[in-house]
Chain A
Amino acid sequence: MRRLILLCCLFIGSLSVVGQTTVSGKLRDNRGKPVVGASIAIKDSYDGATSDSLGMFRFTTEEKGEKLLMISSIGFNPLEKNLVLTDKPVELDLQLKESPNELKAVVVTAGSFEASDAKRTTVLNSIDIVTTASANADVTAAIRTLPGTQQVGEKEGLFIRGGSGEEARVFIDGTLVNNFFYSSVPDIAQRGRFSPFLFKGTIFSSGGYSALYGQALSGALILETIDLPERSSANLGIGSVGFSGGYQHLNKKKTASWGANYAYSNLLPYFELVKQRVDYFKVPVYHYADANFRVKTSKTGILKFYGTLQLNQLGLRSADIDSLTLKNAFSLKNHNFYGNLSWKEKLARNWKFFTGASYSNNRDQLANELQDQDDKPVDIDYLPYKAKNYSGDISTNLAQVKSVLEKKLNGISAIRFGGEYLYFHDDIQFSDSTSRQAILDDHFKAAFAEADIYITNNLAAKLGGRLEHSSILDKTNIVPRVSLAYKLAEKGQVSLAYGIFYQKPERNQLAISRLLNYTRATHFIANYQKLTPTRTFRLEAFYKKYADLVKVSPQLNNSGYGYAKGIELFWRDKKTFKGVDYWISYSFLDTKRDYLNYPFSLQPNFAANHTASVVLKKFVTKLKTQFNASYSFATGRPYYDFRYNSSDNKVEIADQGKTISFNNLSLSVNYLPSIGKTNAKRFTVWVLSVSNVLNQKQIYNYNYSYNGLNKRAVVPPANQFFYLGCFISFGVDRTEDAINNNL
């Protein structure tokens, strides 16, 4: 017994007899730079330290024997090291490996601008798109303030780096959108059909885009729709061109939502107030209805549906160019349905799955009638008048499905692959003095694979390939897409991109001949970018080579060719002027192409050599008002009078010139009286916008009469556009949703 107590006393005594060991050392990363603020700890003890500004650390411990030293720091892989602690000091020289980190890693930026609400610092976010003064709630109009795009006012579409409007495509949730813009009206550019509030992410690629997308020679606008709303809400809007209303319901568990919206626009009152150059005998009227549902299929999966039905019509009368007394009355009736269903899910073992399906149907019923002074129809049976009485009924359908599988490999590297199937069915009926009909069916299939390879956090490569087959051309193509990015310092990086891009000829060309081939462009892009949360600087140079462009004269074939090269600059700054956010973009473009009816290689009439935009935003807290301004400038674009000489079977240039330079200053004001009230039941936004505030003359192009003696400027239907609207959202704070919902 006594012995036992003694033993115990001895044992307890030994607990308090302790020696201390000093552990010290230095921590470095793979480039030999000190790691600051790292935690160094002996496992299961309180002992440890934090590395200082030189990466040094030192601490003492009373622990003895074999222990595990654990080192960790944000952005590095944790490190463990076995130590044997005696009383002797331990000195260590340790290296930490940077952990792969999506937020920190270099991103390929050559050719692309990303706008999203994700945590990553991006050049633009969704609100930026909505509050750009010249945009009037049109996604593509906001994109036109970025480098690489042209200020084209006579035709819809994005004219990117010497490419025509048809050569850029829009994708929503992964699938191609066939009729993103309202149907064409001669000499007047049309808006996009889709509200910017539908989208949470926007990637604008002015070249060198991913192998997941194809069939666009110059660029792609890739849009991602929003997920579940934050709350249920109803909204109402009224403005100078119409009204809108809608409801979104979110279930109690916040796992599913549904909603529907309706908007009606009628420009009659507006045209009464603001005189238009053209005489609208049918005032533009637009009906827009949409329905959506979004369901969380698991913690990581979401199923989304968006469908819209749109009906609109207009009729406008303008003076005929070939005669002093006659007029052309053009009318258009458009029906459009678009539906998109997509499902995204994370699977086990770092696999991700995406599938999307969409269907669209668009029908344009258009007609042109030659009329006299009293608006009575006139029938003249010789050229050019013979061709001026025409009607068309054009129906286009596109059904498609696309699937992508992705696997993450050790951290952030990834491979993805998949395929898509698109079924185009177009029915074109056209009659002037004769009637013609063409039915075009194309089963278009593509398979693609892409790998994101991160050699380190600072060096990444994206390698991709795409295989396409079109049944109407009965041709297959296979293309490579390669890009590289290297991070120079903490915030600066360089990227390079190369790729080959194919595109089918336009449907009106295929209607004449199916013996055409794909048109082709090869892109080379080099880019430097420096990005901080408050400032962005980008410099990009590109060279593009076109081959197999479609020629329509003297023969319809693929003998066209061309090139485009240029330098672009982008600067955004939220820091220098307090509370002011602005960006500047400048593009220099040198391009020539021989295509369509061009007699030889020429600078196309949609390409200006110099284009610049300045966009400014300032929120004045005291007034609860945001002021936005944007100024766009472009040097004059060339215009041509092409004349077919039947004796030589050649097209000649009878006349040519350059338009005056383009200037547009737009202003907009958003007043948000309920901002800041966290529990407001109602949220109101007032919007006022004016385009071309300085009333500067804008000439887009020139049209020539049949005999070439009369030349007329293509100008906008009115110099200025004014908009005033008020949007109220009930039950939820939807500040940005409310601005310009259906303008």
Chain B
Amino acid sequence: MKKIFFLFALMLAFAAGFAQSEKYAGAMKAQIAKIEPAVQNGGFTDLVNSFERIGDAEKNQWLPYYYAAYCQVMSALIGTDKSKSDALADRADQLISKAETIAGAPNSETHVIRSMIATAHLTVDPQSRWQQYGQESAAFLEKAKQLDPTNPRPVYLEGQSKFYTPEAFGGGKATAAPVFEKALTMFDAFKPASEIAPAWGKSATQYFLSQCK
């Protein structure tokens, strides 16, 4: 009797756990699907809050905070009121720190976000901030590449940085194009670890590559 009860309890726990992770994956997938449209139509604040709610509830998943940070820094990067960018980037910084704490250590993907955060700070006043944040952004991309040489996202962002850098400073479309091409082949080879693991960037790379020609 006792044994059966134990077995049953185990089964129930497993079922509940399974239901839980099913619910988690489902919620994550639903939110991740909204990221791409948000680039066009806005709504990143909503996404930040949704991912953060999932993160707060799950407590031991780093991806919700990772996506929350990604959406938060995107809201700073695409926002037109640059006076708000510092506060948004600082918030993204807090979120990515939470993700890194849960993940145990910074990884290639979190470094990508940190590079974007530095870029967000940079855009507020490029002339006087270039020295600090420009270097910081590039350094995080380098770390991201070291930690995962197959990750296409740091390569895509490197291309983007070159794309927006004036030709006189060693940037421009001509220098950015081969980097985007490299990123694209890496995207083709890249297999996300799971359905909800970071997989963004391919369509943006294609877009930028088309702009280079």
* Bound Cα distance A666, B96 (Å): 48
Known: A8-B8, A676-B171, A678-B135. A50 touches B86 (CB 8 A): no
Check if B39 is an interface residue, CB within 8 A of chain A.
Answer: no
If A622-B168, A676-B165 touch, whether A43 touches B56 (CB-CB below 8 Å) is: yes
B13 on interface, CB distance cutoff 8 Å? no
By beta carbon, the residue of chain A nearest B26 is A46
C-beta contact mask, A668-711 vs B, less than 8 Å → 1, else 0?
Answer: 00000001111000000000000000000000000000000000
Q: Which of chain A's residues has its CB closest to B30's CB?
A: A46
Which residues from A are CB-within-8-Å of B125? 533
In the complex, what residues of B have CB within 8 A of residue A677's CB? 169-170
User: What is the number of residues of chain B that contact chain A, defined by CB distance less than 8 Å?
Assistant: 40
- Decide yes or no whether B98 CB sits under 8 A from chain A: no
CB distance from B37 to the nearest CB of A (A): 16
B53 touches A45 (CB 8 A): yes
Query: Which residues in B have their C-beta under 8 angstroms from that of A289?
Result: none
Within 8 A of A (CB), among B33-57: 45-46, 48-50, 52-54, 56-57
Looking at A624, A676, A736, which has the most chain B CB atoms within 10 Å of its CB?
A676
- Asked if A676 contacts B168 (CB within 8 A), the reply is yes
Residues in A with CB closer than 8 Å to B134 are: 678
A39 partner residues in chain B, CB cutoff 8 A = 48-49, 52-53
Determine the chain A residues whose CB is within 8 A of the CB of B132 once the complex forms.
230
Inside 8 A of A623's CB, which chain B residues have their CB? 168
B-side contacts of A533, CB under 8 Å: 82-83, 124-125
Flag B15-39 by CB within 8 Å of A: 1 or 0 each: 1000000010001000000000000
A14 CB-CB contact with B under 8 Å: no
A37 to B134 alpha-carbon distance, docked (Å): 29
**Which residues of A lie under 8 Å from residue B138 when comparing CB positions?**
678
Q: Are B131 and A41 in contact (CB under 8 A)?
A: no
Contact of B128 among A48, A75, A117, A678 (CB under 8 A): A117
Give the complex CA separation of A724 and B56 in angstroms: 60
Query: Hey, what's the 0/1 contact readout for B53-74 against A, CB within 8 Å counting as 1?
Result: 1101100000000000000000
Q: Does B196 contact A (CB under 8 A)?
A: no
* A513 interface residue (CB < 8 Å to B): no
Give Cα A621–Cα B48 distance, bound, in whole angstroms.
Answer: 37
Interface residue? A1 (CB, 8 A): yes
- With A624-B168, A676-B166 in contact, is A50–B49 under 8 Å at CB? yes
Q: Is A138 an interface residue (CB 8 A)?
A: no
- A350 interface hit (Cβ, 8 Å): no
Which residues of A lie under 8 Å from residue B88 when comparing CB positions?
A: 74
Closest to A44 in B: B57
How many angstroms from the CA of A45 to the CA of B82 in the assembled complex?
A: 33
Are B53 and A75 in contact, CB atoms less than 8 angstroms apart?
Answer: no
Instruction: Decide if A234 is an interface residue (CB 8 Å cutoff).
Output: no
Q: In this complex, what residue of B is CB-closest to A579?
A: B127
For residue A733, CB closer than 8 A to chain B, the reply is yes
Contact status of A621 and B82, CB under 8 A, knowing A48-B50, A48-B53, A74-B87:
no
Task: Tell me the nearest residue of chain A to B23, going by C-beta.
Answer: A46
Inter-chain contacts of A12 with B (CB < 8 A): 12, 15
Please determine whether B5 and A47 come into contact, CB atoms closer than 8 angstroms.
no
Task: Report chain A residues within 8 Å CB of B105.
Answer: none
- For B124, the chain A residues whose CB sits under 8 A away are 533
Chain A: interface secondary structure?
Answer: loop
Chain B 113-129 per-residue mask, 1 if CB under 8 angstroms from chain A, else 0: 00000000000110110
- Minimum Cβ distance to chain A for residue B11 (Å): 9
In the complex, chain A residues whose CB is within 8 Å of the CB of B1:
1
Q: Which of A1, A619, A733 contacts B131 (CB 8 A)?
A: A733
Contact residues, B155-181 vs A (CB, 8 A)? 165-171
Complex: A678 Cα to B131 Cα, angstroms: 9
Q: Is B193's beta carbon under 8 Å from chain A?
A: no
Q: A532-B83, A735-B131 are in contact. Are A4 and B5 (CB under 8 A)?
A: yes
Q: Report chain A residues within 8 Å CB of B27.
A: 46
- In the complex, how many angstroms separate the beta carbon of B27 from the nearest chain A beta carbon? 5
B91 interface contact, C-beta 8 A: yes
Pairwise interchain contact A619-B127, C-beta atoms closer than 8 A: yes
Interface flag for A125 (CB, 8 Å): yes
Interface membership of A31, Cβ < 8 A: no
Q: Does A121 contact B (CB under 8 A)?
A: yes
A40 cross-chain contacts in B, Cβ below 8 A: 49
Tell whether A103 is near chain B: CB-to-CB under 8 Å: yes
Distance (Å) between the CB of B62 and the closest chain A CB? 16
Alpha-carbon distance A46/B48, docked complex (angstroms) = 13
Q: List the B residue with the shortest CB-CB distance to A619.
A: B127
Q: Which of A24-45 contact B (CB under 8 A)?
A: 37, 39-41, 43-45
Q: Given the complex of chains A and B, what is the CA–CA distance between A121 and B45 in angstroms? A: 24
Min Cβ gap A229→B in Å is 12
Report Cα–Cα, A117/B132, bound state, in Å: 10
- Cα-based distance from A43 to B171 in the complex (angstroms): 47
Q: Could you tell me the distance between the alpha carbons of A103 and B85 in the complex, rounded to whole angstroms?
A: 12
Residue of A nearest to B121 (CB): A119
Answer yes or no: A185 CB below 8 A from chain B CBs.
no
Report whether B86 and A119 are in contact in the complex, using a CB–CB cutoff of 8 Å: yes
| Measured CA separation A521–B123 after assembly (Å) | 44
Task: State the CA gap A127–B45 with chains docked (Å).
Answer: 35
A242 CB, min distance to chain B CBs, angstroms: 27
A sample of 18 inter-chain contacts (CB < 8 A) reads: A37-B45, A41-B52, A44-B56, A44-B57, A46-B50, A50-B45, A50-B49, A74-B91, A127-B128, A532-B83, A533-B83, A676-B169, A676-B171, A677-B169, A677-B170, A678-B135, A733-B135, A735-B131
Top-6 shortest CB links A-B: A676-B169, A39-B49, A37-B45, A50-B46, A621-B166, A41-B53
| Interface residues in chain B, defined as those with a beta carbon under 8 Å from any beta carbon in chain A | 1, 4-5, 8, 12, 15, 23, 27, 45-46, 48-50, 52-54, 56-57, 82-83, 86-88, 91, 124-125, 127-128, 131-132, 134-135, 138, 165-171
Since A74-B91, A677-B170 are in contact, a sample of 12 more A-B pairs with Cβ atoms closer than 8 Å, ordered by chain A residue number, is A1-B4, A39-B53, A41-B56, A45-B53, A46-B57, A74-B87, A74-B88, A117-B128, A532-B83, A619-B127, A676-B165, A678-B138
